[in-house]
Amino acid sequence: MAGGRGLAFYALAYLAFLYVPVLLLPLFSFNDSLFIAFPLSGFTTKWYAQMAEDEDMRAALWNTLKVGAVASLVSTSLGLLAAKALARPLRGRAALLGFANLPLLIPDIVLGIALLILVSSVSIPLSLVSVAIGHILICLPFAIAVLLSRLEGFDASLEEASRDLGENAWMTFWRVTFPLVLPGIAASLLLTFIVSFDDFLIAFFLCGTDTTLPVYIWGELRFPYKLPNVLALGATILIVSGVMIAFAEWIRRLGASSDANLPLGA
Amino acid sequence: MAEEFVRIENVSKRFGETRAVDDVTLGIGRGEFFSLLGPSGCGKTTLLRMIGGFTFPDDGRVVLDGEDVTSLPPNKRPTNMVFQSYAIFPHLDVRDNIAYGLRTENLPATERDARVDEALAMIRLAGYGARRAQELSGGERQRVALARALVKRPKVLLLDEPLGALDKRLRETMQIELRQLQRAVRISFIFVTHDQEEALSMSDRVAVMEKGRVLQCADPKTLYEQPASRAVASFIGSMNFFDGRVSAITPRTITVQTASLGTFDVPKNGMTNFASGDPVVVAIRPEKFLLAEGSALSNVPGRILALSYLGDRSQLQIAIANAPAPVLASVPNTESQKNFRVGDAVTLSWPQDAPILLPPG
Amino acid sequence: MGAFAAVNVLERLDRWFARSEMAGRYLLLSPVLLVLVCALAAPLALLFLYSFWTQDGLAVNTTPTLGQYAAVASREGYRVLFLRSVGISSLVTVVTVLLAYPMAYFVAFRAGRAKFIWLILLTIPFWTSYLLRVFAWKIILGFNGVINSGLISLGLISRPLEFLLYNPTAVVVTLTHAYAAFAILPIYVSLEKIDRTLLEAAADLGDGPVRRFLRVTLPLSLPGVIGAAVLIFVPTTGDYVTPSLVGGTDGVMIANLIQVQFGRVNNWPLGAALAISSMALVAAVAVFAIQAARLAVTRIR
């Protein structure tokens, strides 16, 4: 059927459309020129070297890693508790899930200013702590989504069987529930880390003097001579997060019995 | 009377407004194969779960081998359950599944391995030790679930509709195997099912349940031939019901008047609860009917509405006057029985002791 | 001795959990609820309150007033901004969904065993830094950017095109690319769920491929399409980064205006009122559009 060929071609073209603009970043990051333009001027890795030596960048990176680690750990733990409670029918389940997913529907700008208002009202100073709080909020829906999909397919009688065979609640969790949820936990940790790592707007509103990497990049965009550095940084971030995401997806699907298991939010 | 190894005393359980189990008292003997039979929602699974410790009764007690276990959690009871979904741990292989419950028994490793090997041999899956749940068929999983429970040497084995997911042929094979297994290990089995044929063929005794209550608890033969009520009679096998009234009682017989079958006598056989004038429901099994042209004591004219040929017997629906529904009859296909066809006129008769008299409602 | 007591407590806790299953589950939920109430409900409530207050120099006058909303409703400039934001988002939504649908269809119906790979490949852009993706378009569309320099070095034009960057068009193009992945997944999910035997039945009853698509596939995939549309429309109206980087003065959107209230202008109440008004407007448009779409599809039958 001719339509089949056309559709396949369209799919490839679409994929190209998705990737090519982003792939320009690594492309020009190796380009020996201050200007991001064709024709290409020759291969160089000096932008990467410069980027790596930038003290401000390294500080921002370190901050981002700290915030990311906290946000992913806390949101995954909370998400695990919530998913465990919501996996089976419960009164108010739909309302609770809606509430937990609300950060996804509210534009980041609104979340950012609302949190800013809150933080200033309670006299918490703007710092990495306030950023972490904001990130936990936006990571929570993702953690719950990943863990819920893992736990929903979880046969409740597995835990009952474990109790029946002699184990108490704690050992049941350790021997049965935890091993089976572990892939979900790993995927949630990775994905929430990425969400926190990439967030710009919330961090923009909530950080004080310590910036995160996206905020740092935003500041650098004003200086044309710094653009290639930013390209190098951006390219690095893209490649690393690309690998992490693929890895997270692979883990998430590991052991998932049905083919209808989808990447997040579905 | 089998000694009451398991006693369920006035046990009730409510879920919100519904009474899932309503004041049930049962006794189950040591080494008995006991079934809880009933339609979905009758409370049989809830009752089983209360014996196992997965749900706790609102009222009443559960006593196992003299010990009151009513408020004990499952891991503290001498019972084990085979779940409806089998609940085979997907992250462990067959061997580890079977050995799972032995961790809390503090056995030396050699003894543990010996028991697992013994169990594998018993379910005829020796050599499957390294396989995972995903690699097993439904029947194999069911056997692993059995082995896993039995390896703990429980006093009572609870089975929650374990054969429901299997196809017919496999189910029949497993029914026989389960029965043989139970006799071999001599443990009390409490078996939940909605399939009355299954319950009747496997059990020493069956408790028929409906809406949380036990309608009748007896051995299969009694249930089939002497059901205590219309509900039990209609649930076990197929049955014809006719409304009637007791018109006379003599020392040996009860005379019943019916609109559809006329007036006839039934031997008293210990049915003492009827007085003259009482309304009564007459129940006759399809296979008790005789189709003939004859002059038996009671015969009723009718016309064949439908016919199903089943090889060794035929099932017929016969329309008779004054009956709300066609009569179901089941006749053997022998030479002496005619070649019936749809539309034929026949007369129905039955042996005098065939009708069962039941209280109305 | 202490260990014994501890075990005893654990045992009793264990039994209590076993008995009151419901209570246990609500207990599990309490930390999450606490976080959500403190970090989501409270801030939003405060935001709402702020919209009724006024900025008095450095302090905030908390006497309730509708003054901010009056300002939002009356100023011509604001109205233009609202309309432009909604307009841009609507355009982005329509284009993105239209482009994404065939892609999702391909993966759901034609990808076969490669489905897994396609889904991963389509998921990755969804997760990469949004900021970097917008930045990529800035360098593509720039005056001396990739497109212009590429076309010049190929000899197709002699002077750089000026209309590429710093206008609403640039915003639309960038947003379409950035939100493409948002559209694919919901549409894919609903297409994947369609029972293939329904299509076989339709074919059996005489429908050709186009009719089958219009009468069976499309209506059944509608929830996914609506989900994708909402998932794109709502965030894009409130987008800040894209208008900032590629919008220029002509492509300014609501979020930029809101941000300056919390920045140099320092008029938080006005910012709050703008935020709430825009959310209300977006919600109203979204609901209206969903109903219209549903109506349109029932007409197809």
Contact residues on chain A for C14, CB-CB shorter than 8 A: 168-170
CATH of the domain at B28: 3.40.50.300
What is the arrangement of strands in the sheet containing B4-15, beginning at the earlier edge strand? B18-29, B4-15, B59-64, B67-68
Which residue is closest to A193 within chain C, CA to CA? C127
Domain boundary among B184, B209, B234: B234
Cβ of A218 and C139 within 8 Å?
A: no
* Residue pair C156/C116 in contact by the 8 Å Cβ criterion: no
Say if residue B90 is in the same domain as residue B191: yes
Q: Is A2 a domain residue?
A: no
pLDDT value at B126 more than 70: yes
* Facing B104 at nearest CB: one of A166, A176, A257: A166
CATH of the domain at B302: 2.40.50.140
Instruction: Return the pLDDT at A265.
Output: 33
Domain boundary among B185, B210, B234: B234
pLDDT value at B133 more than 90: no
DSSP state of A38: S
Of the candidates B9, B11, B26, B29, the one whose C-alpha atom is nearest the C-alpha of residue B155 is: B29
Distance from CA of A258 to the nearest CA of B (A): 12
pLDDT value at A106 more than 70: yes
Q: How far apart are CA C193 and CA A260, in angstroms?
A: 8
> Which residues from B are below 8 Å from C when comparing CB atoms?
56, 71, 73-74
Say if residue B160 is in the same domain as residue B303: no
Cβ of C10 and A170 within 8 Å?
A: yes
Instruction: Return the pLDDT at C7.
Output: 62
Sign of the alpha-carbon torsion through C107, C112, C118, C120: positive
SS3 assignment for B192-218: EECCHHHHHHHCCEEEEEECCEEEEEE
pLDDT value at B253 more than 60: yes
- Residue A182, chain B, CB below 8 Å: the answer is no
Q: How far apart are CA B206 and CA C301, in angstroms?
A: 56
> Which residues from C are below 8 Å from B when comparing CB atoms?
14-15, 18-19
Cβ of B74 and A163 within 8 Å?
A: yes
Amino acid at C26: Y
Q: Is A234 a domain residue?
A: yes
DSSP state of B337: S
Model pLDDT for residues A138-195, shown as the tens digit of each residue: 999 999 998 988 888 788 889 999 999 999 888 998 999 889 888 889 889 988 998 9
Contacts A–B by Cβ distance under 8 A: 62
More confident residue, C22 or B10: B10
Say if residue B18 is in the same domain as residue B119: yes
Say if residue B180 is in the same domain as residue B68: yes
Instruction: Return the pLDDT at C11.
Output: 64
Q: Which residues of chain C have pLDDT under 70?
A: 1-22, 300-301
* Residue pair C182/C261 in contact by the 8 Å Cβ criterion: no
Say if residue B207 is in the same domain as residue B303: no
- Token readout for B205 is 């005794």
Domain boundary among B202, B234, B266: B234
Q: How far apart are CA C222 and CA C226, in angstroms?
A: 6
Contact residues on chain A for B89, CB-CB shorter than 8 A: 158, 161-162, 176
pLDDT value at B106 more than 90: no
Please give the average per-residue pLDDT across B129-147, as a whole number.
90
Which residue is closest to C11 within chain B, CA to CA? B73
Say if residue B208 is in the same domain as residue B247: no
Contact residues on chain A for B105, CB-CB shorter than 8 A: 166
Say if residue B79 is in the same domain as residue B152: yes
Instruction: Return the pLDDT at A262.
Output: 32
Which residue is closest to C257 within chain A, CA to CA? A109
- Residue C178, chain A, CB below 8 Å: the answer is no
- Residue C142, chain A, CB below 8 Å: the answer is yes
Say if residue B222 is in the same domain as residue B295: no
pLDDT band at B182 (very low <50, low <70, confident <90, very high): very high
pLDDT value at B23 more than 90: yes
Cβ of A214 and C268 within 8 Å?
A: no
Cis bond leading into B57, ω under 30°?
no
CATH of the domain at A117: 1.10.3720.10
Query: Tokens 């003054």 map to which residue?
Result: C67
pLDDT band at A223 (very low <50, low <70, confident <90, very high): confident
Q: What total number of domains does chain A contain?
A: 1
Cβ-based neighbour number of residue A203 at 10 Å: 27
pLDDT value at A84 more than 70: yes
Q: Is A33 a domain residue?
A: no
Contacts B–C by Cβ distance under 8 A: 6
Q: What total number of domains does chain B contain?
A: 2
Other chains touching A, judged by 3 or more CB pairs under 8 Å: B, C
pLDDT value at B294 more than 50: no
For A216, the domain range is 53-253
Q: Is A211 a domain residue?
A: yes
Q: Is A156 a domain residue?
A: yes
Say if residue B264 is in the same domain as residue B206: no
Say if residue B304 is in the same domain as residue B271: yes
pLDDT value at B298 more than 70: no
Distance from CA of B83 to the nearest CA of A (A): 7
Contact residues on chain A for C131, CB-CB shorter than 8 A: 198, 200, 214, 217-218
Which of C128, C157, C213, C246 should be substituted to probe chain A, the one whose Cβ sees the most A Cβ atoms within 10 Å?
C128
Say if residue B151 is in the same domain as residue B214: yes
Q: A17-31, A70-84, B174-188, B196-210: lowest mean pLDDT where?
A: A17-31
Distance from CA of B14 to the nearest CA of C (A): 14
The answer to whether the complex's ipTM is over 0.90 is no
Say if residue B199 is in the same domain as residue B88: yes
What pTM did the predictor assign? 0.77
Beta strands B240-249 and B279-284 are: antiparallel
Model pLDDT for residues C13-46, shown as the tens digit of each residue: 666 665 566 677 788 788 888 989 988 999 999 9
Please give the average per-residue pLDDT across B190-205, as a whole number.
94
pLDDT value at B293 more than 80: no
Q: B39-43, B155-159, C10-14, C94-98: lowest mean pLDDT where?
A: C10-14
Cβ of C39 and A115 within 8 Å?
A: yes
Contact residues on chain B for C19, CB-CB shorter than 8 A: 56
Q: How far apart are CA C143 and CA C163, in angstroms?
A: 9
Distance from CA of B74 to the nearest CA of C (A): 9
Of the candidates A188, A115, A119, the one whose C-alpha atom is nearest the C-alpha of residue A148 is: A188
Q: Is A68 a domain residue?
A: yes
Of the candidates C93, C168, C183, the one whose C-alpha atom is nearest the C-alpha of residue A18 is: C183
Q: How far apart are CA B173 and CA B169, in angstroms?
A: 6
Cβ of A165 and B101 within 8 Å?
A: yes
Which residue is closest to C47 within chain A, CA to CA? A114
Go through the domains of chain C in sequence order and give each one's CATH number: 2-50 (no CATH), 74-300 (1.10.3720.10)
For B255, the domain range is 238-358
Instruction: Return the pLDDT at C18.
Output: 59
